[in-house]
Chains A and B, each alone.
Chain A
Amino acid sequence: MSDVAIIDAGGANLGSVCYALERLGVAPRVVRDAAGLEGADRVILPGVGAAPEAMRRLHAQDLVEPLRRLQAPLLGICLGMQLLYEGSEEGDVECLGLLPGVVRHMRPGQCIRIPHMGWNGLRIMRPSALMDGVPEGASAYFVHSYAAPLTADTVAASDHGSLFTAVVQRGRHCGAQFHPERSAATGARILRNFLEMDF
């Protein structure tokens, strides 16, 4: 994959995502404005933090409309995936609206601690090239307090109190709620799939 753009929207995991791509032999470009998206074959939106602040930054960088119009395949990671949905309960913020559904706070319960932090299994819900070579039950590393519901776009789910969307794809819009850059071989495979699959 010749040209991979990673959006710097202030998320602290930017470096880790770059390093993960470098381990796959890809030298990504870090971009901070719409001009940087031009010519990209793949675009990655990482994110750590809170949805309202992340959306404020995307607006401030004039990236909201360009992302909505983007023709290149887009992968949102963690908060970046949540931003692809219509909105988030976190600060009641309107997000990019590329995927139907609203991100909601996860419910704590008996033995269910929030944030959901650690390795959890992936339950494959429907076929997608994103999951090529990833076996049912493979573990991925999650750190989050908000989650997207199961929808027709859900590729893989995970269970923490209830099922939520762990991997999503709707056409060229993809997302991983976990951190592929920190999910060992499983994460590396999913990143590689995103770079190599046909859209």
Chain B
Amino acid sequence: MLSRRIIPCLDVRDGRVVKGVRFRDHVDMGDIAELAMRYRDEGADELVFYDISASPQGRSVDHAWVERVARLIDIPFCVAGGIRDVETARRVLHAGADKISINSPALERPALVSELADAFGVQCVVVGIDSIREADGQWRVRTNTGDPSRTREPGVRTLDWIVEAQRLGAGEIVLNCMDSDGVRRGYDIVQLREARAACHVPLVASGGAGEMLHFAEAFEQADVDGALAASVFHGGTIAIPELKRFLRQRDIEVRDV
């Protein structure tokens, strides 16, 4: 039976792992390779490296650290940030990334999703979505969220974009619920359930994990395939082996550490 995935997300800026609250005030969390190996050893099922400096500044990720990580770790990892064309994606994948995640560039030019799926197969193509609840109660996407001064509101409904992204060739959706991100009050179960109903490819929850129960809720109530978190892992609030024991006790299928 397929295990639910625990996915630490390492926000990368200028070659270091950083973490901010609600996308602001980034704090240095450590060296990329050191953190990658620590999480691998603790039993992380997958890692996401999100270059938060890349997309708003219109530049793509520096591939040197991708190769450095690929040589070291023997679990899958995904690279996000600043991938805007097939050639850049090819370089990142050939440097050793297993998947690439695109967010703002996919909204700016949806055909990119299809181009990547055609070139590498849908299983390589993750569409990341930053979503926020607006005054009318609708969830809508945001782009360029790595830099609040450059964040845009394309006016696209999150659930519509989830459907469209799959049609174009997304092999996985990572839904980052911005209202809950960084505040540790739990994943946005209501939004994730709506997303789940619209999402037939793997769905990963992001934003809001503060305690072990939050992971269980996302798996049990929103049926997500994976749960992504950053600060609770980086700061040591939650240890992955303990989290997996907790989930297993609740009969949630997880990979043994």
Contacts and interface: CB of A to CB of B under 8 A. Distances in A.
Contact of A182 (B76, B171, B202): B76
A118 B45 contact: yes
Contact of B3 (A19, A49, A139): A139
B2 interface: yes
Given A15-B95, A119-B2, A111 B75 contact: no
Chain A interface bracket (under 10, 10 to 19, 20 to 34, 35 or more):
35 or more
Tell me whether chain A's interface is mostly helix, strand or loop, or mixed. mixed
Contacts of A108: 200
Contact of A144 (B2, B75, B94, B123): B123
Contact of B74 (A50, A117, A183): A183
Contacts of A141: 75-76
B122 interface: yes
Interface string A153-191: 000000110000000000000000001011111011000
Contacts of B172: 115, 117
B135 interface: no
Contacts of A13: 93, 98
B5 to A, nearest CB: 5
A19 B73 CA distance: 9
A114 B201 contact: yes
B98 to A, nearest CB: 6
Given A118-B225, A119-B5, A181-B74, A12 B67 contact: no
Contacts of B112: none
B96 interface: yes
Given A15-B70, A16-B96, A117-B202, 16 more contacts: A15-B94, A22-B71, A23-B74, A48-B123, A49-B120, A113-B225, A115-B201, A116-B2, A117-B123, A117-B225, A119-B2, A120-B3, A139-B256, A141-B75, A143-B98, A187-B74
B181 interface: no
B226 interface: yes
Nearest to A159: B1
B118 to A, nearest CB: 8
B255 interface: yes
B13 to A, nearest CB: 25
B223 interface: yes
Interface in A29-45: none
B54 interface: no
Interface in B148-195: 171-172
A155 to B, nearest CB: 19
Interface string B1-26: 11111000000000000000000000
Nearest to A15: B96
B214 interface: no
Contacts of A144: 123
